[in-house]
Amino acid sequence: MIPGGFEYHRPDSLAAAVGVLREYGDDARVLAGGHSLIPMMKLRMADVEHLIDVQDIAEMKGICAEGDKIAIGAMTSQHELIDSPEIARVVPILSEAALQIADPQVRYCGTIGGNVANGDPGNDMPGVMQCLDATFLLHGPDGPREVAARDFYEAAYTTARDDEEILTAIRISAHAPGYAYEKQKRKIGDYATAAAAVLIEKRDGLVANASIAMTNLSDVPVWSEAAGADLFGTDCGPEAVAAAVDTMLGDIDPTEDNRGPVEFKQHVAGIILRRAIARAWSRA
Amino acid sequence: MSETTSQMNIKLTVNGEAHEVTCEPRALLIHVLREDLNLTGPHIGCETSHCGACTVDLNGKSVKSCTLFAAQADGAEITTIEGIANPDGMHVLQEMFREHHGLQCGYCTPGMITRAYRLLEENPAPTEEEVRFGMSGNLCRCTGYQNIVKAVLAASDQMAAQKEAAE
Ligand SMILES: Cc1cc2nc3c(=O)[nH]c(=O)nc-3n(C[C@H](O)[C@H](O)[C@H](O)COP(=O)(O)OP(=O)(O)OC[C@H]3O[C@@H](n4cnc5c(N)ncnc54)[C@H](O)[C@@H]3O)c2cc1C
Ligand code: FES
Ligand code: FES
């Protein structure tokens, strides 16, 4: 399994990388960890003429926490997320999610930028980013711009990123202590049959804020504002949870594939969401 | 589809030895290691990033060398199973795999040991659960894993004892 031929570029600055993208347009692709792109190239499902390896670009690296805000460079690997004390302090849901992605070898290579930019509905981070209301920083020929994670995903492999833009960083605010990322997969290293990201803020014994998103149950991640609202003001009892799960099951749109028929996915989605809500509430 | 035949020169330090290789940008690291450098320890199992038989250590990370272009490793330090043994004999991990029957056909073993090496570098005293989680990127079709886990745990104990003796 050898990919088609391509020209390899390894620029050492963002400006140079954008320059290559500009020159070759959609014949060029960014290569981050390569653990989504290279398998696709080996299967000849992706045909790339120019690969831009961004591993030397300092502007895309590092984790920077200031108070309750954190900026994560796009080239931060999933392994680095798990290892980072800043992530554990400000946005621990990211380490919890990263630990459920693939296997150790893949996590050393796979980057958070690649995971969110890829646009594969099976990727775990996009749902987490929508749950967190994260902001993506994109850099193109006209300079930087910001796009909310909740506005980024248009269809499978289609995002708000222009062909000439590079995702450089992700900005997130600290989340409430009640968090959970729960994932059902067939085996280690598999994409989700269903996964749920839940954040709950508790005040005076009641839900003061809730955010719920799910993974791989539609061609884009599904953040359901209404499902979160079903929990608001309640003590997260069985009726409120049932309402939130019902709302979410109405918002997802799974299709049949080798992970099972639609009915099964609806069933698994309900169970996984219940577990995620229960764990988030127990930590809130 | 362009079948560009442009070649590039890359530098790799493998098992402490500096190499210069000329290859196409699309050459995968596993192929360069096996075919250009004659290091046939890292195996090709699945070729689809799942089995871990091709695992090598690259700049202190365990990576699946079937899912990396050699070009990405330009300038990197790589250790393969050939570089894990000590000059005076086998690495403790290799001895413990032998002693605890951590292999049968041996196909997965180079990847298993190379991965276990990095796991113990990062976490010298793992629990059984940590070993299972840390080795979950390596598949074995023979042993049922039980003896692999035993071997890694035994190696961890031995290495701790050796370290203590040295102090
Ligand atoms: C065996 C296996 C199991 C896996 N299991 C999971 C899983 O359970 N969950 C999961 O979420 N993922 C999984 N993955 C995918 C893995 O997490 C990938 O690493 C990740 O999806 C992409 O990150 P990358 O850095 O490897 O990106 P690449 O493969 O390099 O890039 C992916 C795409 O994003 C684009 N891109 C990358 N970075 C940028 C950027 N900064 N700006 C603009 N465009 C960019 C590339 O051009 C490409 O189109 C698995 C992969 C393997 C091989
Ligand atoms: S050959 Fe590389 S993971 Fe199987
Ligand atoms: S010993 Fe045969 S595959 Fe592991």
Query: Are residues B110 and B59 both part of a single domain?
Result: no
Whole-number mean pLDDT of chain A?
Answer: 97
Give the CATH number for residue B17: 3.10.20.30
What is the pLDDT, as a whole number, of residue B5?
A: 64
Summarize the confidence of residues A107-131 as an average pLDDT: 98
Domains of chain A, residue spans = 7-53, 60-173, 191-283
Closest residue by Cα to residue A133 from A115, A113, A112, A150: A150
Residue with tokens 């009640």: A178
Query: Are residues B29 and B96 both part of a single domain?
Result: no
What is the pLDDT, as a whole number, of residue A139?
A: 98
What is the pLDDT, as a whole number, of residue A271?
A: 98
Give the nearest ligand 3 atom to B104 CA.
1
B70 in any annotated domain: yes
- CB distance A44–B134 less than 8 Å? no
Pick the CATH number of A191-283 from 3.30.390.50, 3.10.100.10, 3.40.640.10, 3.30.1490.440: 3.30.390.50
- CB distance A103–B137 less than 8 Å? yes
Q: Where in the sequence is the domain holding B106, given as residue range(s)? A: 92-166
Q: Read off the pLDDT of residues A46-100 as tens digits, 9 standing for 90 and up.
A: 999 999 999 999 999 999 999 999 999 999 999 999 999 999 999 999 999 999 9
Q: Read off the pLDDT of residues B8-52 as tens digits, 9 standing for 90 and up.
A: 999 999 999 999 999 999 999 999 999 999 999 999 999 999 999
Burial class of residue B144 in the structure, from the number of CB atoms within 10 Å of its CB (0-12 exposed, 13-18 middle, 19+ buried)? exposed
Residue with tokens 């003896």: B147
Query: Are residues B106 and B66 both part of a single domain?
Result: no
Query: Are residues B55 and B111 both part of a single domain?
Result: no
- Single residue among B33, B55, B83 that ends a domain in this structure: B83
- CB distance B1–A8 less than 8 Å? no
DSSP notation for chain A: --PPP-EEE--SSHHHHHHHHHHHGGGEEEESS-TTHHHHHHTTSS--SEEEE-TT-GGG--EEEETTEEEEETT-BHHHHHH-HHHHHH-HHHHHHHTTSS-HHHHHH-BHHHHHHS--TT-SHHHHHHHHT-EEEEEETTEEEEEEHHHHEEETTEES--TT-EEEEEEEEPPPSEEEEEEE-SSTTPPPSEEEEEEEEEETTEEEEEEEEEESSSSS-EE-HHHHHHHTTS---HHHHHHHHHHHHHH-----BTTB-HHHHHHHHHHHHHHHHHHHHHH-
Quote the crossing angle between the two packed helices B92-99 and B146-166, to the nearest 10°: 140
B3 in any annotated domain: no
Of B71, B74, B136, the CB nearest to A104: B136
Q: Tell me: pLDDT of B4 over 70.
A: no
Query: Are residues B111 and B159 both part of a single domain?
Result: yes
Q: How far is residue B102's CA from residue B119's CA, in Å, rounded to a whole number?
A: 16
B103 in any annotated domain: yes
Closest chain A CA to residue B64: A105
Q: How far is residue B55's CA from residue A275's CA, in Å, rounded to a whole number?
A: 35
Q: Tell me: pLDDT of B87 over 90.
A: no
Backbone φ and ψ for A116, nearest 5 degrees, come out as: -85, -25
B residues 21-50 closer than 8 Å to A (CB): 24-26, 28, 31, 47-50
DSSP-derived 3-state class of residue B69: strand
Q: Read off the pLDDT of residues A23-52 as tens digits, 9 standing for 90 and up.
A: 999 999 999 999 999 999 999 999 999 999
Summarize the confidence of residues A172-192 as an average pLDDT: 96
Q: Tell me: pLDDT of A282 over 80.
A: yes
Residues of A in contact with B140 (CB under 8 A): none
Query: Are residues B79 and B106 both part of a single domain?
Result: no
Q: Tell me: pLDDT of A198 over 80.
A: yes
- Single residue among B43, B62, B83 that ends a domain in this structure: B83
Q: How confident is the model at residue A231 (pLDDT cuts 50, 70, 90)?
A: very high
CA nearest ligand 1 atom 51, residue: A35
Query: Are residues B21 and B66 both part of a single domain?
Result: yes
pTM over 0.95: yes
B1 in any annotated domain: no
Query: Are residues B18 and B78 both part of a single domain?
Result: yes
Q: How far is the CA of A52 from the centre of ligand 1 (A)?
A: 15
B54 in any annotated domain: yes
Give the CATH number for residue B158: 1.10.150.120
What is the pLDDT, as a whole number, of residue A162?
A: 96
Confirm if A226 and A247 have CB atoms less than 8 A apart: yes
Query: Are residues B120 and B157 both part of a single domain?
Result: yes
CATH 1.10.3720.10 fits A7-53, yes or no: no
Q: Is the CB of B51 under 6 A from ligand 2?
A: yes
Closest residue by Cα to residue A224 from A273, A170, A267: A273
Q: Tell me: pLDDT of B88 over 90.
A: no
Q: How confident is the model at residue A1 (pLDDT cuts 50, 70, 90)?
A: confident
What is the CATH architecture of A60-173? 2-Layer Sandwich (3.30)
Q: What domain count does chain B have?
A: 2
Confirm if B110 and B43 have CB atoms less than 8 A apart: yes
Domain A60-173 identical in fold to domain A191-283: no
Query: Are residues B118 and B77 both part of a single domain?
Result: no
Query: Are residues B119 and B102 both part of a single domain?
Result: yes
- Single residue among B83, B107, B122 that ends a domain in this structure: B83
Q: How far is the CA of B145 from the centre of ligand 3 (A)?
A: 9
* Amino acid in the structure at residue A86: E
ipTM score above 0.90: yes
A186 in contact with B at a CB cutoff of 8 Å? no
Closest residue by Cα to residue A118 from A161, A180, A71: A161
- CB distance B115–A10 less than 8 Å? no
Summarize the confidence of residues A221-250 as an average pLDDT: 98
